[in-house]
Chain A
């Protein structure tokens, strides 16, 4: 049973396609997700990084139909999200794991029940106990028999996250949405869980969108990184390029404060995490942007554009795309 692979997702090979997605709250006053387009291919891991309030969690919630779209469209496996029809079959193919495994498990349900529940809801064919045991051992809880009758409080945080991963994988999903999957775990356990997630990609062809503020996670398992700021993707591309040669001043600042990066001068952005109900005019990052603050943007003659002209992702090199006036102008000048 555990030799399964994700069947061909959609005609163009993408598991998810987001096109100009907008999610709004409070009657449009809060633009949580503001015009985001993103595709995720089969067996691909995309890390969606950014600060609290940047809209990254809202974005993945919209993929399983939990947030109504104000504009744009989302297709999963070639099927549009939003229509009532087919929501159940979609939810089987798209599974989600959360930051806090303790809150996500019912304390009165045994580990067996936690995994079997999804199988029953989705009427998965097969011998239930065998499916449950198979899922648990594939998530590294071996021998599975030792865990079946236990309850969440008897397990460690890392083991609980494994139970949730087992419950998700038991449904043989095409896409796993992971919201800060290791943020509540000890550093020592973190690597083990990430390795487990990556192994499902390599052995079953599952795709993962991992929402995180942990750039180390991206470096550890992601094929691509998308950096979000105030509801918009400001930089996206292959992990090596985005983290190795960041173009957007926001990505550069984020990288400079990660203790795991050597050799970058620390660039601590002042001020609080920005507020999506008050998106600044022009480039939304300009009030905190070091290039604008240092006067460099004005010296080079594009400061007014930064303050006045909103912009979306421009192609930089190949798949590496950036939404920054400085980058766009230096690219034009270079041609």
Chain B
């Protein structure tokens, strides 16, 4: 059974200015011990998915489709069951470590609290063990968040997320605010946890190059949809969707003469989710758009028709043939 399965997930925020569809028909599966990366620009819906998995969306947000954690629909759970599932089945590490921790409580206490609420026993010892597990000395348990550096706080958040030994860890831009060296430390830690404990990891970031090095599979989102997915190295090196191609090209390869003095990016901005154009939402920024793209919104389909290689899919008129 899959650890996480999203079936035709749609999330629509209700705002004063009208409905904003943030996630539109996303299907995604995460097997035990698997790492999947979710990439895309600001506003593409990737963080909305993180919040949707544990029902952390603002009140009144419209959610359709299914979110299955270990085969159980999160949106059909009773409040008590939901509270148990959060932390023990799945936990989230957010980007802003400073804002996720309580500033007036010692970090050790904050981890203990999570353990007491869910697992109960030996909370104090377990909290120290967890801190050591993420590379922080036991003495740090006595510190307040402001006494720790950005990298240390991020480690505390990871320790906190691991408090109840979840099977699934959702990491939403866990390294974005960190220096390169500290980022490397945190990424190495996540890889180690995933390897040693068979943790499944859903890794969300706009940094495609980080995902390629951390995740086996990659899903690229644009305007609320997955527009390309497949094995991460293959997707990064030989993208099928023009959006992925532009995104991948914007990460220069140091030492590569082609990117020397030649920064590349993607002109324009993503479309406003409350006013999506008809046809393919990427057409305005696409360098290979054809007249059909203004009317035709292609669904995700097999990118490679050769047998055995059908693990790559993309949502583009130029790609493969429609799956029957």
CB distance from B103 to the nearest CB of A (A): 20
B251 closest partner in A (C-beta): A260
Given contacts A192-B267, A213-B179, A254-B180, contact A220 B262 (CB under 8 A): yes
Chain A interface size range: 35 or more
Interface check A329, CB cutoff 8 A: no
Given contacts A254-B181, A259-B210, contact A272 B149 (CB under 8 A): yes
Complex contact B251–A216 (CB within 8 A): yes
CB distance from A194 to the nearest CB of B (A): 4
Q: Quick one: CB contact mask for A229-249 with B, threshold 8 Å, 1 for yes?
A: 000000000011001100000
CB distance from B95 to the nearest CB of A (A): 12
Complex contact A259–B263 (CB within 8 A): no
Complex contact B252–A216 (CB within 8 A): yes
**B209 touches which of A52, A255, A259 (Cβ 8 Å):** A259
A267 closest partner in B (C-beta): B184
Complex contact B181–A157 (CB within 8 A): no
Q: How many A-B residue pairs have CB under 8 A?
A: 121
Residues of chain B within 8 A of A73, CB atoms compared: none
CB distance from A101 to the nearest CB of B (A): 13
Interface check A51, CB cutoff 8 A: yes
B214 closest partner in A (C-beta): A259
Where chain B touches its partner, the secondary structure class is loop
Tell me the chain B residues, 227-275 only, with Cβ under 8 Å from chain A: 246-247, 249-255, 259-267, 269
Bound-state CA distance A268–B185 (Å) is: 7
Interface check A302, CB cutoff 8 A: no
Where chain A touches its partner, the secondary structure class is helix
Q: Quick one: CB contact mask for A96-115 with B, threshold 8 Å, 1 for yes?
A: 00000000000000000000
**A216 touches which of B212, B254, B267 (Cβ 8 Å):** B254
Residues of chain B within 8 A of A257, CB atoms compared: 180-181, 183-184
Residues of chain B within 8 A of A259, CB atoms compared: 207, 209-210, 212-213, 251
CB distance from A234 to the nearest CB of B (A): 14
Given contacts A157-B42, A216-B251, contact A258 B180 (CB under 8 A): yes
Residues of chain B within 8 A of A262, CB atoms compared: 253, 255
Interface check A289, CB cutoff 8 A: no
B246 closest partner in A (C-beta): A188
Interface check B41, CB cutoff 8 A: yes
A195 closest partner in B (C-beta): B263
Residues of chain B within 8 A of A158, CB atoms compared: 269
CB distance from A246 to the nearest CB of B (A): 10
Which of A191, A194, A213, A255 counts the most chain B CB atoms within 10 A? A191
Tell me the chain B residues, 118-159 only, with Cβ under 8 Å from chain A: 149-152
Bound-state CA distance A99–B263 (Å) is: 18
Complex contact B184–A219 (CB within 8 A): no
Complex contact A273–B253 (CB within 8 A): no
Given contacts A198-B263, A221-B261, A272-B151, contact A260 B252 (CB under 8 A): yes
**A51 touches which of B179, B207, B266 (Cβ 8 Å):** B179
- 3 closest Cβ contacts across the A-B interface? A191-B265, A257-B184, A194-B263
Cross-chain pairs A/B with CB under 8 angstroms, 20 sampled: A156-B269, A188-B246, A189-B41, A191-B250, A191-B264, A193-B265, A194-B263, A219-B252, A220-B263, A221-B261, A221-B263, A257-B180, A257-B181, A259-B209, A259-B212, A260-B209, A260-B254, A268-B184, A272-B151, A272-B152
